[in-house]
Amino acid sequence: MTSEAETARNILVVDDELNIRKLIRNVLSKIPGFVVETASDGTEAVEFLESNNYNVNLIITDMQMPRMNGLELIKEVLKDHPTIPIVVLTAHKNDRNVIECLEQGSVEYLTKPISVDKLQQVVKRVLDRHARFEGAGEKIEVKSEVKGWIEITAPTDFEYVERFQKFTALLGSLPINDEVREDIRVAVDELGQNAVEWGNRNNRTKRIHLSYCVFKDRIVFKIEDEGEGFDPEQLRDPSVDPLAHIMERMKEGKRAGGYGVFITGKLMDDITYSERGNVVVMTKIFKK
């Protein structure tokens, strides 16, 4: 029988604001199995971690703190303990420092003021994700060498498409409204899912490559898989005769897919596939 100590989820909250530390500790401590400790800055956090042999399942850290800030803490922790998941707290979701934290290996971010529901959702999701992937040796690579450009290379799992969505959520300063943001989210979801399911056939030994670049008048996305590709010209519009489409795909032993390509075509201003069909570039123009 597994003991309570063995199933405990140990969480360290690092923030120089006492009220924030108390809030997070009170909220998370009410979840069965969660043990929450706190530290007032990065230096105190490292001291705690070292004295406890880095026996934590999750670190939640603020960005701006005295002595050792959030970014410095992340670098220090992940240097020798790269599998510990870290969630960043920030008052500015489009802060360049947030992107740098994500590049260093933090897996999520939360913006202040903190929503209790959002906090619980993110923490549970991160811990569940870590339990699924623990020991798998899987790691994402993040590049952001040019301002406005970000690229993620990751194992084949829709989890990483969702992670990519976290980067696109940093587009808060772009001249687009909520409707356009939702169009972008759906388009990335649809073609990201295609790359995972149809391109790489859910083969986790293959990688997906997700990137976007922001220009003055548009944003361009590129989604690439390592599969055999396909000919988009051979796809029939499933909305013309949905029932016939479903029956035909069932006969071929396939699910009722094929909608994503056409949905995305209506949401984005331009979509271009590579000759092989395993790379798609899509553009959304900023309307004046």
Residue-wise pLDDT for 203-249, tens only, equals 988 999 999 888 888 899 999 999 998 887 766 655 555 556 556 65
- Span of 23-32, 135-144, 178-187, 260-269 with lowest mean pLDDT: 135-144
The gap between the terminal CA atoms of the chain, to the nearest Å, is 63
Task: Look up residue 123 and give its two tokens.
Answer: 């923490």
Torsion of CA 49, 66, 117, 95, to 10 degrees: -120
Rg, Å, the chain Cα set: 21
CATH 3.40.50.11540 fits 4-133, yes or no: no
Give CATH for domain 141-285: 3.30.565.10
Strands 58-62 and 9-14: parallel
Does residue 258 or residue 153 have the better pLDDT? 153
Does residue 170 or residue 126 have the better pLDDT? 126
Give all strands (DSSP E) within 121-215, no chain letters: 141-143, 149-155, 207-214
Strands 270-273 and 279-285: antiparallel
How far, CA to CA in Å, does 240 sit from each of 115, 231, 232? 43, 19, 16
Q: Where are the domains of the chain?
A: 4-133, 141-285
Tell me the per-residue pLDDT of 213-222, one tens digit each, with 9 for 90 and over.
888 888 999 9
pTM confidence score = 0.65
Does residue 55 or residue 288 have the better pLDDT? 55
